[in-house]
């Protein structure tokens, strides 16, 4: 069945589209992943490299996804079938697979944020780092984790089932302003903490020696983070742009979206590091759980920390929700467009399947890593890379033509954009893919093999 059988939905307003894209971009990537990457990669040097990649790689790549979505008015699978020939037709499937895998464990982590919001309200944060760690291990896997994973997924299903205009658009119009206001408020609070000065200099003054010594790990980490945080590489921006009715200036929209996303990530650093420094927690503590353990321990230490913590984790949960709906929408739009199944049925079916796929991640943290590394460092980069090669090298005229709709003649900016996609974007993705595969191999033969041995 083809898409012409069902009238396609559209965003009601320009703000609706921008908020939805900002909602997708601002998520666990900004508030959970970003600070622990900064910590792991040594502070300000990473921040600088990250900002560079956002402009150099993120912006051109986002425009590619936008033009593909708006031109085809299709889900990623349908879009790639339309613009690609031969094997290129199947690239859309990678996006669907990526969305599927990412949301399965993203929902588990989002479940932790709900759990930690409640923990704050129960005044349950523990200042002692070792005990906080133990608490995290208990809450982050097992029955507790599965329960909150289910709760979160149910919320995602409920919003996506209602539809673009009355579901997603309405939800993000409430969620996104709330996230912005609360993060700014928390940053102001954090500025009053005694550790703020030390934290700012760690976060904001790059040490060139650190960058020079560690660029091999900083560069791919910063590039990967730029892609992940902007929701690129899995068809979200293709899907969201496919619901654009009129001709808008996509470059302007993209710049606004990127501006918001980058600001929120940056401000999050201004919240997290003063809190960690004040509580005497080392920001370099690596790992996905670190931000939960260290922040919860810090909140356990601060006056009124329970309240600040509940507001902080609550905001993270909302940010995760507005990202998760975009991930589910990628798959749901495919089912609606190409299979002619109704939206609520598609949302429930897909959400249910994603929940089941996430259960192993909620069962053991090693399995969460297994999914996360595979989706994040391989699938996402691979899908993004193939799309950039296809559009940059085979369809430059179509891309420039589509971008000009709503802007007018781009002049030499058109070719400049295409060349940015052809060389720097593709090169960075290629390097990231190779490093990602090597890293995954190490994980499979190291921690994962050990884990299997222990079972
Ligand atoms: N951009 C989101 C974040 O920063 C993550 C995400 C990636 C969401 C891809 C949707 C698609 O958390």
Give the range of the structural domain holding residue 268, as residue numbers without chain letter. Answer: 14-454
What does the pLDDT look like over 309-337, one tens digit per residue?
A: 999 999 999 999 999 999 999 999 999 99
Query: In which residue are the tokens 């490299």 written?
Result: 49
Distance 135 CA to ligand 1 centre (A): 27
The domain that holds 358 is classified in CATH as 1.20.1740
For residues 34 and 398, is the Cβ–Cβ distance under 8 A?
Answer: no
24 domain residue, yes or no: yes
For residues 132 and 385, is the Cβ–Cβ distance under 8 A?
Answer: no
Distance 446 CA to ligand 1 centre (A): 27
Mutate to test the pocket of ligand 1, among 22, 228, 315 (most ligand atoms within 8 A of CB): 228
Whose Cα sits closest to atom 11 in ligand 1?
231
Task: Name which of 10, 89, 107, 86 is nearest 338 in CA terms.
Answer: 89
62 domain residue, yes or no: yes
3 domain residue, yes or no: no
**Long-range contacts, 370-374 (Cβ 8 Å, 24+):** 370/443, 370/448, 371/101, 371/104, 371/105, 372/105, 372/288, 373/436, 373/439, 373/440, 373/443, 374/101, 374/440
Distance 231 CA to ligand 1 centre (A): 4
150 domain residue, yes or no: yes
Distance 25 CA to ligand 1 centre (A): 5
Distance between CA atoms of residues 259 and 280, nearest Å: 32
What does the pLDDT look like over 8-40, one tens digit per residue?
A: 899 999 899 999 999 999 999 888 888 878 887
What does the pLDDT look like over 120-160, one tens digit per residue?
A: 999 999 988 889 889 998 999 999 999 999 999 999 999 99
What does the pLDDT look like over 343-381, one tens digit per residue?
A: 999 999 999 999 999 999 999 888 998 998 898 888 988
For residues 199 and 273, is the Cβ–Cβ distance under 8 A?
Answer: yes
69 domain residue, yes or no: yes
| Arithmetic mean of pLDDT, 163-177 | 93
Structure tokens given for 185: 């408020």
185 domain residue, yes or no: yes
The number of domains in the chain is: 1
First CA to last CA distance, the chain: 46
Whose Cα sits closest to atom 7 in ligand 1?
231
7 domain residue, yes or no: no
What does the pLDDT look like over 204-263, one tens digit per residue?
A: 888 778 778 877 778 777 887 888 899 999 999 999 999 997 788 999 999 999 999 999
Distance 208 CA to ligand 1 centre (A): 30
Distance between CA atoms of residues 266 and 255, nearest Å: 16
Q: Which residues have CB under 8 Å from 177's CB, separation 6+?
A: none
Task: Tell me how many helices (H) and strands (E) the chain has.
Answer: 23, 0
> Is the pLDDT reported for residue 285 higher than 70?
no
> Pocket residues for ligand 1 (CB within 6 Å)?
24-25, 27-30, 228-229, 231, 234, 236, 323, 326-327
For residues 141 and 169, is the Cβ–Cβ distance under 8 A?
Answer: no
């Amino acid at each position: 069945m083809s898409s012409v059988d069902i009238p396609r939905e559209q965003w009601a307003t320009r703000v609706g589209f921008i908020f939805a894209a900002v909602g997708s971009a601002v998520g666990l990537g900004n508030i959970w992943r970003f600070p622990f990457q900064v910590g792991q990669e040594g502070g300000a040097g990473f921040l600088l490299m990250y900002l560079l990649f956002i402009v150099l790689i993120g912006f051109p790549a986002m425009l590619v996804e936008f033009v593909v979505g708006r031109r085809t008015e299709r889900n990623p699978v349908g879009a790639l079938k339309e613009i690609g020939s031969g094997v290129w037709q199947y690239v859309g499937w990678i996006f669907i697979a990526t969305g599927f895998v990412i949301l399965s464990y993203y929902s588990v982590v989002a479940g932790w944020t709900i759990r930690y919001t409640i923990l704050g309200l129960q005044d349950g944060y523990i200042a002692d780092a070792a005990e906080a760690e133990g608490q995290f291990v208990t809450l982050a896997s097992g029955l507790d984790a599965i329960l909150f994973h289910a709760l979160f997924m149910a919320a995602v299903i409920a919003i996506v089932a209602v539809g673009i205009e009355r579901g997603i658009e309405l939800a993000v119009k409430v969620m996104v302003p709330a996230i912005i206001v609360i993060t700014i408020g928390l940053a102001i609070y954090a500025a009053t903490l005694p550790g703020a000065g030390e934290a700012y200099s760690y976060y904001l003054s790059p040490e060139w020696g650190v960058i020079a010594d560690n660029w091999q790990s900083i560069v791919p980490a910063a590039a990967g983070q730029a892609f992940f945080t902007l929701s690129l590489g899995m068809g979200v921006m293709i899907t969201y742009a496919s619901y654009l009715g009129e001709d808008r200036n996509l470059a302007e929209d993209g710049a606004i979206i990127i501006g918001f996303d980058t600001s929120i990530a940056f401000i999050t650093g201004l919240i997290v590091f003063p809190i960690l420094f004040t509580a005497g927690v080392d920001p370099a503590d690596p790992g996905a759980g670190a931000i939960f353990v260290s922040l919860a321990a810090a909140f356990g230490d601060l006056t009124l920390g329970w309240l600040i913590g509940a507001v902080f984790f609550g905001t993270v949960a909302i940010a995760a929700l507005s990202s998760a709906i975009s991930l589910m929408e990628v798959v749901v739009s495919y089912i609606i467009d190409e299979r002619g199944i109704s939206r609520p049925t598609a949302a429930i079916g897909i959400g249910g399947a994603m929940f089941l796929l996430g259960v192993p991640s909620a069962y053991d943290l090693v399995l969460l890593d297994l999914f996360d590394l595979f989706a994040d460092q391989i699938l996402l980069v691979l899908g993004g890379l193939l799309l950039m090669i296809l559009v940059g090298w085979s369809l430059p005229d179509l891309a420039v033509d589509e971008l000009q709709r709503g802007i007018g003649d781009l002049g030499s900016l058109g070719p400049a954009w295409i060349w940015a996609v052809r060389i720097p974007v593709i090169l960075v993705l290629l390097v990231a893919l190779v490093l990602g595969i090597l890293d995954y191999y190490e994980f499979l033969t190291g921690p994962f093999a050990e884990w299997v041995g222990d079972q």
